[in-house]
Structure formats: C-alpha cells, structure tokens
Amino acid sequence: MRNNWKASRVIDTATAPNVLVVDDELQIRRFLRSGFEFDGYSVSEAENGREAIRAATLRPTDLIILDLALPDLDGSQVLERIRSWSSVPIIILSVKSSEMEKVRLFELGADDYVTKPFGMAELLARSKVVLRRKTRATTGDSIVRIDRLKIDLAARNVFVDEDRLTLTPKEYRLLQVLAQHPGNVLTHQELLKEIWGLPHINDTHYLRIVVRKLRQKIESDPNRPRILLTELGVGYRLAPPNEPSDANIR
Amino acid sequence: MQRVQLMVERVLKGMRSAASPGGAGGIFAALALVAVVTLILEIVKTFLELPPIAITYLIPVLIAAIRWGYLSAIVTTLAGAFCSAFFFYKPTGTIFIEDPARRLSLTIFAIVAVVSAHLAVRMRRESEIARKREKEINDLYAFSRRLAAGHSTSEIFDAIQKHLSTVVGRKVALFEPRRPADGKPEPIGESDVPQNVRAAVTAALGGNATAGMPIPDQQGNLWLVRAVSRKAPDLGVIAIDLGQQTPESEEEIRARIEAVLHDAASTLEQLGLAHALTEVRMRAESERFRDALIGSVSHELRTPLSSILGAATVLRDAPAVAADPRLVGLANVVHDESERLNNEIQNLLDATRISGEALHPKLEWAEMADVVNTALERRRGPCGAHAIDVELPGRMPLVQVDAVLIEKALGQILANAVKYSPPGSRIRIRGWQEGGVFALAVSDQGAGLSPEDSSRLGERFFRGRRHIQSTPGSGLGFWIANAFVTANGGTIEATSAGENKGATVTIRLPIPANAEQLESISSD
C-alpha cells in the first residue's frame, strides 16, 4: 500500500482520471486537491458555477465534485446545465443533509451525495464507485455480478451462486431497474413510476413489500442486506458490482 | 336598533308574502281542506246521529295556521263556521241557526280556532328561529374551529371569507390588508372581481373609504365595497356582488347586509381575530428568523469545520505522516475532535428545531430493519470498540413513521450506549412485536442509571452527576431522541437495574391496524 502512494505521486497525465473540484471555499479546494492528487488523480479547480460549466466544456473531465452553495449559481443549476450535454459522474457536496434535497438532486442526475463534513477516504471510495460505473456503461456488459448474485439483463435470468431464482414480474422489474444503474441511488418516486406507473407514485408501501420479498430471495440475511441497500428517506440502490478487472481505472 | 329593524323587516316581508300568489295558494289549499272535512262529516252523518261538527273543523284551521300562516287560518275558521251552519245545523241550506245552544257552540268554536291559530303560528315562528339559530351556531363553531387550526394569515382570511359568504348569503370576495410593497391585492373566495371594483377595494384598503355606495360593473351588477369592520381595519375589505337590483330593493338589501356585517364584525372582534392575526404574523416572522439562524449556523460553522476535518483525514493518510505513528495520533486527535464538534452542532440544530415546534414528521411505511441498519452504518466509527448484537424477528410488521427521525433517535441512543459503557463490552439491539406495538430495545453493560438519573433523564441539558467530570456531553441526546420518537406517535423508556449494571432504552412505535393487510400486496 505504502509503495502505491509513492508511485501515484508521479502523475501519468495520460491515464490519471481528471477530477474537477467546484467549491467557493479555498481551504476545501486545497485539501480536496491534495487528497485526490495523493490518490493519483489529476485535479482542476473552479470557484463558482460559471467557471465550473466553462471548465467542464473545455477540458476532458472524468469526475466532478460539486459544492451546492456557490456564489453565482445554485449548485443544482450547475448540475442541470452540465447534465444537459454530459453524463460525466457528478458527486454533490453539501452542508445540508435533508432527504428532500437529496431526492431532488438524485432526480436531477447527481450520481452521489456527500454531506459536509466528510473524510477524504469516504469521498475517494465513492469517487471510485462512480468512475467504475462509467466504464461499465461504456463497455455495455449485460451481466451484473454483485456478491453472490448474478443478473443477466439480456437473458432476463437471475442467479444466486449457480442456482437460478424464480422471481415475480415486479421483483424482476425492480432488480432490473436498479441493475441498469448499479451503485446509483434511485428514489422511491422513480422506482414507483418505473414499476407501477405514475398513479402509484406515492404508494411507498408497494415498494417496501416487493423489496422485502426480493431480499428474502437474494440476501443471505434479509434483515442485514448486502446487495439491495436502503438509502433511508431517499430510495434504494444496489451495492457496487464485483469488478475483477479494476486495473483500467486505477 | 339594528335587530329591531331586522324584525320589522321580517314581519313586513311575511305579510307581503301572504298577499302574494303563494299566500293565495295557501288560502285555496285551506279551503280545499275545509271541503274535504265537510265531505267526511256528510258521510259520518249517515251513521252517527250527532257528529262533532264544530270541533272537527279545528283540524283544517290548525293545519292552515302551521303551514300557511295566520291569514289562511282566519279564512279557514270563517269557512268552517259557514259550512257548519249551512250544511249541518238546522235549518240546513241557510246560514241561520235555530238552536241557541248550537249558536253558542259555534261562537266558542270561532274563538278557540282564532286563539289556537295564533298559538300555532307563534310556535312555528319560534321553531324556525330556533332552527336558524342552531345553524348560525353550527356555522360559528365551524368557523372558530377553522380559526383555531389556522397556521397562516391566509388560512384565517380563508375562514373569514367562508364565514361571511355564509352569513351574507351572496358571492363575497375578501381582500387581505397587505403592505403596498406586496403589489395589488388579490381576492379570497370569489375571484371574478371586475376592474373598477378592484380599484375601489384598493382605495378602501388605503383608508379612502368610499361612502359605501354600491358600484355597478359592466354587466350592470352592483357591488358593495366596505371594510369588514370599521373598528378593526386588520380584518380587510369585502366586496359583495349584489346582483341586478332596482333602487328600492338595493336600498333594502344594503341595509340587511350592513346589519349582518355589523353582527359578523363584532363576532370576529370577540373571537380576538385581530390578536390571532398578529400572533400568526409574529410566529411566521420568528420562524423565518430561526430558519435563517439555523441556516447561517450550519453554514458558517460547518464550512471551516469541513476544511479542518477533511484536511485531517488527508494528513493522516499522507505518506510522510503515515510513516510516524505519533503524527498519525495527532492527526486523529484533530479528526476525532472535529467530529465531536460537528455532532454537538448537529444536536444544537436538532434541539432548535424541536423547541421551535418545527418538527413535521413525514409519515411513510418503513421497514424497521432499514432504520436499524442505517443507524449502525452511520455510527460505525464510534461503535467500533463495542461488540454489537442485533436480533430482529424474521417477520416484522411495517410501521408508519418518519424513518429519518427514528434513525436519528436510535443514533442518539446508540451514541449514549457507546459513551457510557466500557470499550469491548456488548451492546444488544433487540426488536419484537407486542400486540399493536413494535418495540426496539438497546441494552448496554455500562454505567447504568441511578434513581435520580432515571427520573430526570427526559430533561433538556440533564447530565448524570457521576459523569459531568469524566464524560463530555451536552445532555441533549436523550431529550432529542425522546422528542423525535414522540413526534412519531411512539414512546421511549429507559430502565436500569442500578448504577454500573447497564441500561436499556426501549422505543415503542404503534403498528397501524392495516399493516398486516399490506403483506398481501401482489408482487406479480
């Protein structure tokens, strides 16, 4: 591990992922820069919303860390603008931790949400997850493996180890929607709309019951789920998929 | 004065309606009843020698009095007397009566008929008034309930508008008094208010009361614009659609509305409405202030804290520091203490929310296992030195709570368990169903509670005497947990076998009656 640190300090600009840090606080940018650089990223900075949008259009960017409270534009506006032309992973930083706010940002297309204050290790772990997801999306693999679970989206089959599961249509649909965005939080409303349709958008209990039944089939302990995870007050997500070929990111 | 005027109007109106075609209809109906009674008596006469003639005619008289009023009762009496004389008393076929005793009985019949008609009419009128009063009281009761439930001035004005349109019985638009900065006044209730009427309303709101003369709009409908109360300008300005009226009927309807509005305004004043309005405005003001304060505290304090905490974590893992355990220790001190400071700030913010009654739980069906797992996940760091046991039943009911608040409450309880029990000891989380309640207990093997601790645990800022010196804390944790659980309709209870014998905190949440049925929701 120690050796890795040393190696990564010599940044290879050709393969190092580019992260754009957007925050109006100099001190925050400073520690984020050090933290990301120690971990082998190449870092650029923006201190307001307009600069962030310009930087994202000018330079090839692999990841954006976006603070919500910016002096010129609201962070959610920046998110919306960038999402209008780019699918680059965006992690939101905010001092507010209200669940309603999170729901809104996830629905606007944020990939993850970290509440300030936070530790660098946590942010790095989450960055790694969203970057992996992006490479997956570009390879277009139709098989998602999480822990002992294997979802074959093309053949519509689900296995635990090598045993094929029998799922009801709603259970499969839930797993399918989540597997199309592995690691990404999908809000209650998004899932209800996808699975039951618009009229049932507030019937959270439908979702709770199907999640419970699905967990009984795919989790080894349904009360301590490891695959189908709850984001309390916001929605659900699948744990990050197993990736034997990690090498192309780090 | 106004009440007398109203009474006079009502009587005049009653007389007018008696003379109108409807009243004449009443008289004809009464005469028809007399004819029917006469026919029946003719039939009865064939097998009964002396039928109770005069008394039988009292029946149509009373019916007429109750249904069609005094005038038709008198007519019925006369018709009854005439029929008795003409058809039944000898010599029949004339109105002359031979027998003096019969003459007397017919006179008595007339007197009794007139008197009982009078009584019946009065009874009817009184029961009508009672019914009307009951309706008024019901309206007022509904109105005062809406007032009590009003959280904002617009809700209160909404209630006033509904009340006024019920009492006036016409289309009513109410205009809330606003500061000029807020722009043009918007009507509550009837929204279709013509432009020139709005101009008059704006003038009236500005204090330039027009003399209260109705204003015609383009369709020729008349609108009355005036302050709801002359004494309390805070109650706003009302515009009433009088419809199309002749000058005389306009005068009359205006007088009536003035009277009704006068009564309504004094009721509103008695209900302390002006006071309620000021209170609501002040509450809104202080809520805004508190929100601003919370926002600024969380931003101003947390932003530097984020830099400190984040920088500490980068330092700790930086190669140069990681090589020296002493430096790692120092970086950990910076990190742990900033974490603690952050928790204290969060507790203060939560406490402000609670004491400001700004807790509005968002109740949704929730899986308690999710709540427990999230609480454990979020406290993974602080809980690291303890062995945590979780025992949840395989089949758990869904509960209807604000899962985020319950998770915060459970987090506080876990933090306390960690804080007051030695590292390496066991913390047990157990969930079970007891009847209509889901219980979740957190037990530790730590300092426990003295009898004094137990009785004062729910107090804000209370700290056990044994711990003030040794363990840092603000005394807010249990209080916050208690407030969050109570806001969700649950209870929280702390028990202990005594000092140093561990403590158990139990959260109990109601299971809604229909929780069981949810299980049958199809997943096909």
User: What is the rounded average pLDDT of the residues A54-61?
Assistant: 90
Beta-carbon count within 10 A of B524 CB? 6
List B215's β-bridge partners, or say none. B223
Q: What is the pLDDT of residue A2?
A: 41
Are B310 and A232 inside 8 Å of each other by CB? no
pLDDT digits (tens, 9 = 90+) for B374-433: 999 888 877 788 999 999 998 888 999 999 999 999 999 999 999 899 999 999 999 999
To probe the interface with B, which of A21, A209, A211, A214 has the most B CB atoms within 10 Å? A209
Q: Which residue has the higher pLDDT, B144 or B341?
A: B341
Summary mean pLDDT of chain B: 81
User: Do the domains A141-246 and A2-138 match in fold?
Assistant: no
Evaluate whether residue B207 is within a structural domain.
yes
Are B314 and A208 inside 8 Å of each other by CB? no
Q: How many angstroms separate the CA of residue A206 from the nearest CA in chain B? A: 7
- The domain spans of chain A are 2-138, 141-246
Give the rounded percent of residues in chain B with a pLDDT score beyond 70: 87
Asked if residue B14 and residue B68 are part of one domain, the reply reads yes
Instruction: Output the CA–CA distances (angstroms, integers) from residue A235 to A67, A107, A185, A208, B476, in the order listed.
Output: 22, 11, 6, 10, 30
Q: What is the pLDDT of residue B260?
A: 72
Asked if residue B375 and residue B499 are part of one domain, the reply reads yes
Q: Which fold has domain A141-246?
A: Arc Repressor Mutant, subunit A (1.10.10)
Least confident interval from B224-238, B390-404, B486-500:
B224-238
Domain-terminating residue out of B296, B321, B355? B355
Are A211 and B367 inside 8 Å of each other by CB? yes
- Phi-psi domain of B271 (left: phi exceeds 0; alpha: psi -120 through 50; beta: other): alpha
Among all residues of chain B, which has the CA nearest to that of A24? B303
Evaluate whether residue B416 is within a structural domain.
yes
User: What is the rounded average pLDDT of the residues B66-91?
Assistant: 87
Asked if residue B124 and residue B55 are part of one domain, the reply reads yes
Are B338 and A117 inside 8 Å of each other by CB? yes
Among all residues of chain A, which has the CA nearest to that of B297? A95
Asked if residue B494 and residue B375 are part of one domain, the reply reads yes
Asked if residue B377 and residue B336 are part of one domain, the reply reads no
| pLDDT higher than threshold 90 for residue A78 | yes
| Homologous superfamily of A2-138 | Response regulator (3.40.50.2300)
Evaluate whether residue B318 is within a structural domain.
yes
- Containing B441, the helix (H) or strand (E) segment is strand B437-443
Asked if residue B71 and residue B18 are part of one domain, the reply reads yes
Domain-terminating residue out of B355, B375, B399? B355
Measured CA to CA, the distance from residue B106 to residue B88 in angstroms comes to: 12
pLDDT digits (tens, 9 = 90+) for A211-243: 999 999 999 999 999 999 999 999 999 988 886
Summary mean pLDDT of chain A: 86
Name the B residues in 464-523 with CB < 8 Å from any A CB: 518-519, 521-523
| pLDDT higher than threshold 50 for residue B270 | yes
Asked if residue B509 and residue B403 are part of one domain, the reply reads yes
Q: What is the pLDDT of residue B288?
A: 75
| pLDDT higher than threshold 60 for residue B21 | no
Q: Are strands B215-216 and B387-391 parallel, antiparallel or unpaired?
A: unpaired
In chain A, residues with a C-beta closer than 8 Å to the C-beta of B318 are: 34, 38
Residues recorded for chain A? 250
Evaluate whether residue B524 is within a structural domain.
no
User: What is the rounded average pLDDT of the residues B90-119?
Assistant: 86
User: What is the rounded average pLDDT of the residues B260-281?
Assistant: 72
pLDDT tier for residue B19 given thresholds of 50, 70 and 90: very low
Asked if residue B435 and residue B380 are part of one domain, the reply reads yes
Q: How many angstroms separate the CA of residue A111 from the nearest CA in chain B? A: 20
Sheet containing A186-187: give its strands across. Answer: A186-187, A235-238, A228-231
In chain A, residues with a C-beta closer than 8 Å to the C-beta of B378 are: none
| pLDDT higher than threshold 70 for residue A248 | no
Asked if residue B71 and residue B33 are part of one domain, the reply reads yes
pLDDT tier for residue A7 given thresholds of 50, 70 and 90: very low
What is the pTM assigned to this prediction?
0.60
Residue (of A114, A116, A139, A133) closest to A124 by Cα position? A114
Evaluate whether residue B265 is within a structural domain.
yes
Domain that holds residue B180: 152-271
Q: How many angstroms separate the CA of residue B224 from the nearest CA in chain A? A: 46
Q: Do A165 and A159 meet the contact criterion of CB atoms below 8 Å apart?
A: yes
Q: What CATH number did the domain enclosing B157 receive?
A: 3.30.450
Q: Which residue has the higher pLDDT, A12 or B144?
A: B144
In chain B, residues with a C-beta closer than 8 Å to the C-beta of A225 are: 373
Q: What CATH number did the domain enclosing B458 receive?
A: 3.30.565.10
CA A127 to chain centre: 8
Q: What is the pLDDT of residue B44?
A: 85
User: What is the rounded average pLDDT of the residues B71-82?
Assistant: 89
| pLDDT higher than threshold 50 for residue A206 | yes
To probe the interface with A, which of B303, B362, B440 has the most A CB atoms within 10 Å? B303
Asked if residue B6 and residue B129 are part of one domain, the reply reads yes
Q: What is the pLDDT of residue B407?
A: 94
| pLDDT higher than threshold 60 for residue B277 | yes
User: What is the rounded average pLDDT of the residues B150-159?
Assistant: 69
Beta-carbon count within 10 A of A118 CB? 15
Look up residue A236 and give its amino acid. Answer: Y
Evaluate whether residue B522 is within a structural domain.
no
Domain-terminating residue out of B271, B290, B311? B271
Name the B residues in 322-361 with CB < 8 Å from any A CB: 322-323, 335, 338-339, 342
Q: What is the pLDDT of residue B85?
A: 86
Asked if residue B322 and residue B257 are part of one domain, the reply reads no
Are A38 and B319 inside 8 Å of each other by CB? yes
Asked if residue B253 and residue B285 are part of one domain, the reply reads no
Evaluate whether residue B523 is within a structural domain.
no
Q: How many structural domains comprise chain B?
A: 4
